[in-house]
Chain A
Amino acid sequence: MKVIFKIEKGLWEEILTHLSQSNPVAYEQVGFLSCGAVLSKDNTLVILARRYHPVSNNHYLADSTVGACINTDAIITALQVSLSGKCSMFHVHLHPHKGQPEFSKVDYDSNHKLIPDFFSVTSHMPHGAVVLSFNRGKGMVWLSKYDAPVSINEFMVVGAPMKTWQISSPPRKKSIRDFSRQESFLGPESSEILSRIKVGIVGLGGGGSHVVQQLAHIGVKRYTICDPDKVENSNLNRLVGATVNDVRHKHLKTRAATRVIKSLVSDAQINVVDKKWSSGLAYLTDCSVIFGCVDTLKVRDELERFCRRNLIPYIDIGMVVRKNDDGFFRISGQVALSISESSCLRCMGILNEEDIKEEAQSYGDAGGQPQVVWSNGLLASSAVGIFMSLICPWSSEPANILYEYSGNEHTLISSLKCKYINKSKCPHYTCADIGNPFFNLKKFFPMKKTCTIGMRSIIQKIKDYYARNNRTIKVLDERS
C-alpha cells in the first residue's frame, strides 16, 4: 500500500511558523494535525490535512532530556479533537534544518506510545506522526492500534506552485524519450516528477483530447481518463487522435485517448473510466491534478467539489459559440484554476445556482453546441501551461486563476476579476469539507483477531527479555 500525505500550502506555512517559534518551557514546539482520509482504487491511502492544533504553552512539562514533553491535558485535548471531528490525528514537530528529516530514537519511541491511543477514540481512521524540516517531511501511519506503522511514501504541499517529494523513491527506469529541450528550463527533476504524478482528465472531447495529447508529449506517465461516449463522425472536426476508423468501429473516446498516450509513453499507466466520471471516483482520488473538459455546469460543480474535498487542484476549460444580434457569431471561453485556499468557480462567476438550475430544467442537454478545434486547442494548451506552472514552475510569477478567451479577437487574457477575487478567501469551501466522511479503515483493512495480536505482543516481550539478558530465542511458530 502506498501512502500520500497532502497538505495545503497555507496550512504548511502556518505549522512551520508555529513550530519555529521558541517555547518558554521546552526546547521545541509541537502540535497535532487533524486530517481526513481517502483510499484510491489502486490501494493508495491519501491523508488530507485539515487543521493545525498547536499544543498550548501551559501543556508543556519541563524536561531537559527531550526536545518537548507534553502533559496529559495536551493529549486529552488532541483526543477530544479526534473524537468530536471523527478525524485522523497526526503528531507534528520540526527538526530545524533543510533537507530530509528523520525521526530520532526518542521520537520513534514516544510516537509508538502515544499514537495507538487515538484508536481508542477514533478507531475507523488512521493516525500517525510527521516530522518536518523547513522544506521536507517524513511520517508514519498506524492503520490499527496493534500493528506496526507504515511509512508515508509521498508528500504533497498543495498550492501554486505545488511541492511534492517522495521518501526513498525506487530507482527509475531510464526513459527512451529525450526531454532535454524542456528539462533545460523546467529543471532536471521535472521528468521524474511528471512520471510520478497522476493526472485525471474528465471529458475526452475537443478539449480533453488536446490535454491528453500534450500531457503525453511532456512525459506524464500516470492517468485516469474518463468519458462514457463513443467517437462519432461529428466529433472528428476537433477530437485530436480520433480517426474515421474509430467512428466506423464505434470505438470509445477513452480508446482513442489511450492510443495517443501509448504512442508517446509506451509504459504509461492508464486507469480507464468509460462510464460517467462519477463511476470512477476511486480512480480519481489519488490524482495530483484533475482537468475538467466537460460541457455542463452541473458536472463542473460536482467535479470542483470532489477536487476540493480531496485537495486536488482543478483546471477547468470551457468554450461557447453564441450568435450575436447582427447575425454573426462570437466565440468565448475560459481557463480556470480552482485550488484549495483560493477562489472557486463560484467566486469567479463561472458557476451560480440560477444557471445550474436552468440547465437542470433542460436536462443538462449541451449536445449539438458548436465546437471547433482551434479554440479547443488554445484553451487546452493554456490549461496544460497552468498545470506545468503548478508542477514544475519555470518562473517566480504564479499562474493566474482565471483567463478569458475571445475567439474573435484571438486573445486569451488574465481576467480582470483576478484583481478582486484573489484577495478574498473563498467563502464556499472550508477545511471541514476535506476528506471522505464515509471513510472507514475497518472496511478496507479488517481488524485482526485480538488473540493473535496478544500472542504477538507476548512473543515480543519474551524476545525483549531474552535480548536484555543477552540470550536469543527462536520462535518456531507464532501459534505454537
Chain B
Amino acid sequence: MTISQQGFQELQAIYPCARILKESNCCYIYFSEMNISSDGKVVKVEALLDCTNKDTKLYLGTRFPNKGQNWTEHAIIGKKWHTFSYSGVSNRLRLIDILADHLRVLE
C-alpha cells in the first residue's frame, strides 16, 4: 500500500509537519505536532497514522485515558506510541477523512 500523493498533500495543507515514514512493509504518516482538543483543552501531541492495513490506526505520543477504550502501548519506528481500540476506518477513504474519523473518538 502506497500513500496517494494527492491525499498526502491535502493532509499537509492542514498539517505542514506531516511526513511519510516507513518501517518493514508499513507506511506511516508522522505528525510532529498535532493539536488535539480533548475535554475542552487543546493538547499538542506527536501522532502516527498507519494507513497500510485495511483497518487504519492512529497512534499518539500520550494517552487520553478519559477518551477511547482499551488503550495499548506499541513500539513503532523506534518510539513508544499509544492507541485506542477503534476499528473500521478503511484505508480506502481519503487520508484527511481517515484522520478525522480517528480524532472524533477523542473529542
Contacts and interface: CB of A to CB of B under 8 A. Distances in A.
Contact of B80 (A38, A279, A437): A279
Contacts of B25: 428
A278 B74 contact: yes
Contacts of A437: 21, 30, 77-78
A180 B55 CA distance: 56
Given A432-B22, A433-B24, A278 B73 contact: yes
Contacts, number: 56
Interface in A292-323: 298, 302-303, 305-306, 308-310
B24 A438 contact: no
B24 A428 contact: yes
A305 B78 CA distance: 8
Nearest to B80: A278
A278 B53 contact: no
Interface in A394-435: 428-429, 432-433
B75 interface: yes
Contact of B78 (A276, A281, A346, A429): A281
A302 B22 contact: no
Task: Classify chain B: how many residues form its interface, as a range.
Answer: 20 to 34
A436 interface: yes
Contacts of A328: none
A353 B78 CA distance: 20
A276 to B, nearest CB: 5
A277 interface: yes
Contact of A429 (B24, B30, B53, B81): B24
A285 to B, nearest CB: 8
Interface string B66-87: 0000101111111111000100
Given A357-B53, A438-B78, 9 more contacts: A278-B81, A279-B73, A279-B80, A281-B75, A298-B74, A306-B75, A306-B78, A363-B70, A438-B79
In the A-B complex, list the 7 residue pairs whose CB atoms are closest, starting with the nearest.
A278-B75, A436-B78, A302-B75, A278-B80, A276-B73, A278-B73, A428-B24
